[in-house]
Amino acid sequence: MFTRPVLGLIAGLLSGLVPAHAVPVAEWVGTFVWRDDGPDFGGLSSLELSSDGSRFLTLSDRSEAFEGTFTRDGEGAVNGADITFTTPLNDAGGIPLSEKTVDSEGLATLPDGTVSISFEGEHRLTFRSAPDGPEQAAPLPPGSDDWEGNLGLEALAAAPDGTLWALTEGTIDGDHAVLRYRGGAWLAPLGLHREGTWRPVGADFGPDGRLYLLERDFWPLVGFMSRVLRFDAGEDGLSNPHILFQSRAGMFDNLEGLAVWQDRDGAIRLTLISDDNFLPVQKTEIVDLRVTE
């Protein structure tokens, strides 16, 4: 007859043969410092990518749109960028936006190709048929009068069904507003509880139908911290949260944009972009992560 210690040893050995439930994580793949001599380059706070991660659309805080292509190394990390088209964002009359209305933040491309852009300062949500097309403004949701100047619609993501999800950087009663716009109307608002001093700055839906959220924190004299969370997104809100990645303070610059795509092997990839605020002490970084389950 086996004694309890022997039975415990056998159970322990057998447990090592049974794979534990995998915890999803996003692993760092590479970082590319993007330098460009163009007078309007910089302040990039959002990012959209093609399904294979090769073509990009990004916006600056001064409402300049840049389109082009990324090259990637054998690991799938960006190692080069070529801007093929640039244009200022235009108002409803096709005229470049004025200085008071240029603080573009969130960016999402709807399934039909419509480009959605959110703005801070003069808060608004807009739609365009193309980056250089005239804007059409959507009505703001109830409660938008309470948004502070730079704490409005920060992160946009287009769901596969065409619903536009928007998160505010600011909070009300400790919650970031999670807003959804579909069929020309706002749905019932949801909330995401703020944890510590983290703030949402970028979001995207992946090919797996999940919502990926980029959050930022800042430690004075040390630098920025970034983390990426993944949620199941449904009519009742966000559920099943996982922190996929969290950087050390100062590891990266001011990461604000997030795009999700899938590589040839079926792995989910995350590409993040930093806003240098047009300051020489900061830099534009492209950071690539790979999700493993």
Question: Which residues, other chains included, contact 277 with Cβ-Cβ below 8 Å and sequence gap of 6+?
Answer: 42, 43, 61, 254
Q: Measuring CA to CA, which residue among 202, 284, 188, 273 is closest to residue 237? A: 188
| Range with the poorest average pLDDT among 13-22, 23-32, 273-282 | 13-22
Mean pLDDT of 60-76: 97
Res 100: pLDDT? 65
Report the mean per-residue pLDDT for the chain: 90
- Report d(CA 52, CA 47) in Å as an integer: 14
Res 206: pLDDT? 98
Res 52: pLDDT? 97
Q: Are the C-beta atoms of residues 118 and 181 closer than 8 Å to each other?
A: no
Mean pLDDT of 221-239: 96
Res 121: pLDDT? 79
Mean pLDDT of 108-131: 94
Model pTM score: 0.91
pLDDT tens for 143-184 read: 887 777 667 888 999 999 999 999 988 877 788 989 999 999
Every domain of the chain and the residues it spans: 22-292
- Report d(CA 217, CA 237) in Å as an integer: 24
Q: Are the C-beta atoms of residues 164 and 156 closer than 8 Å to each other?
A: yes
Question: Higher-confidence residue: 67 or 143?
Answer: 67
pLDDT tens for 240-287 read: 999 999 999 999 999 999 999 999 999 999 999 999 999 999 999 999
Res 21: pLDDT? 54
pLDDT tens for 125-145 read: 999 999 999 999 999 988 887
- Report d(CA 21, CA 9) in Å as an integer: 21
22-292: CATH homologous superfamily?
A: Glycosyl hydrolase domain; family 43 (2.115.10.20)
Res 142: pLDDT? 84
On the CB side of 200, CA atoms within 13 Å amount to 30
Res 222: pLDDT? 96
Instruction: Tell whether the model's pLDDT for residue 101 goes beyond 80.
Output: no
- Report d(CA 212, CA 231) in Å as an integer: 6
| Range with the poorest average pLDDT among 15-24, 222-231, 277-286 | 15-24
Question: Side by side, which strands form the sheet with 25-34?
Answer: 25-34, 284-292, 268-274, 255-262
DSSP 8-state secondary structure symbol assigned to residue 90: B
Q: Return the amino acid letter for 232.
A: D
Share of the chain above pLDDT 70, in %: 91
Question: Side by side, which strands form the sheet with 136-138?
Answer: 104-109, 115-119, 124-128, 136-138
Q: Are the C-beta atoms of residues 144 and 136 closer than 8 Å to each other?
A: no
Mean pLDDT of 104-120: 95
Using pLDDT thresholds of 50, 70 and 90, give the confidence band for residue 98: confident
Q: Measuring CA to CA, which residue among 239, 291, 234, 284 is closest to residue 261? A: 291
Res 156: pLDDT? 98
